[in-house]
Structure 1
């Protein structure tokens, strides 16, 4: 069929096969987005940045609010989203709404392995994935982080992946 030497035919075949495999397989990459990234949009004036630096937070800090109307929005393109947070020895949580769904998900961020500290205080468990959704349709999505009225005293945002 071809008048090429066998060695050149094998090279062409290998090249075409690699191109076909590249089109079939795709790699996904997890990207961590910290709470201080400009792509995280906070409702005006209702969020505070933690202080001082704490190694239990991603990048050393987190945002928090005790305001009922507090929310933040993270828009992303991908097929999965994960919410990362430390845990506290008192009532902390976040209500998450993915792509405007009518049923928000409450994520409890209280460290239930410790006695309740009603006076507050720092985190007791290092930031890790505490909620996630995989197998989303490839494309643009939005995750809204809200105060969970009646379920916690504070809403916290530390990072997304």
Structure 2
């Protein structure tokens, strides 16, 4: 069952990717006592994720943070090394927190997984965005059209803040 507004995030372990280190953190620790914008992408370096979804959050980071958000984070079912490379490649280091869900534990626990095996990608995230306040989902946007980043994009999320 897909997570919904009012639900608490599942408590799982993720990797927070930094410029020099990768730290394991539980979602209960990472999201506790702060307001976070989290958006999920099917995969780092994929065309829609790299060209349409992530850039909107990078371009609007200051505006989003100026609306009372403590952290902007992106999550993908990729390992921490890929997420670090993507952060560097996109110029996202220091602007957005990159979270690696290498085995898809968050995606599965939140009901946000999708099987992309037909395209050779295996289990991935659905494309989404959400606002989380101390671990509770206060807004959730699931992308309605494959290959798009409109419903879950930064412009849509800004309307909700």
Larger helix share, 1 or 2: 2
TM range (shorter): under 0.3
Larger strand share, 1 or 2: 1
* TM-score (norm: length of structure 1): 0.25
Asked which structure has the greater CA Rg, the reply is: 1
